[in-house]
Amino acid sequence: MAAAEARPRLGFFLRAKTGLLKQPSQLTAYDRIVKRPLPLIPRGQRRKRVSRERLIFACPRISPEWELGMLHVLMKPKPLTRSAVEHRQGQQPWSPAADAALEESLNIIQDGLQTSLIIHRPSKGEYHFLIEFTPPQKPEILAFAQLLSRRLPDLWFVIDRLFVSAGVFHRRQFGYKLNLVPATNVHLPRVIRAALRGVL
């Protein structure tokens, strides 16, 4: 049966005998580009990402890494995924030492980069503190996030679509998966690194 299937079909011989098969010199650009047996399906342009006018940098009361881990356990209840969040609490405590680190980091950034940031500290809600900023301010906020997270390595922070812990920026793998991976393409501009040399 395998040998019979490997033989050329009758239609091939009929087309070859009648001269219907195209010679290499007769192939058009379409014949060379399109793969057989299915042609390439043309796709439209990717949707442009919506640019938001206001972004946030904040410290959630619940660890985002723990939240994503719990979602992973609920969707794929396996021992490997369960061990990542088992016997762990999701709350992120905010202590007086964290308040002092926040104030110290804020003063360093405002003095070194000559910028002004307004911190909101709601008594209730999703975040311990919240800073709203515009896209042009993002480099200064990235520096502030890195500086503060190094002083508070046990806490997770969020900045737009990024997550920060112990001075390392993370993002969701491929943008949609539930595990966090280092964001290797996030870097501080040279001007900011020079202004904060010895601090960062």
Domain limits, the chain:
55-195
Gap between the Cα atoms of 32 and 25, Å rounded: 11
Name the band, by pLDDT with cuts 50, 70 and 90, for residue 200.
confident
Instruction: Give the CA angle between residues 135, 126, 92 to the nearest 5°.
Output: 105
- Tell me: the pLDDT tens digits for 179-192? 899 999 999 999 99
- What does the pLDDT look like over 115-130, one tens digit per residue? 888 999 988 889 999 9
Strand order in the sheet with 55-60: 127-133, 55-60, 157-159, 162-165, 168-172, 180-182
Region of poorest pLDDT, from 46-55, 65-74, 146-155, 166-175: 46-55
Please tell me the least confidently modeled range out of 36-50, 82-96, 135-149: 36-50
pTM over 0.75: no
pLDDT value of residue 47? 74
End-to-end CA distance of the chain: 71
Q: How far is CA 162 from CA 68, 127, 143, 145, 173, in A?
A: 13, 16, 13, 10, 11
Question: What's the pLDDT tens digit per position in 133-143?
Answer: 999 999 999 99
* Nearest CA-CA partner of 149 in 64, 59, 55, 66: 59
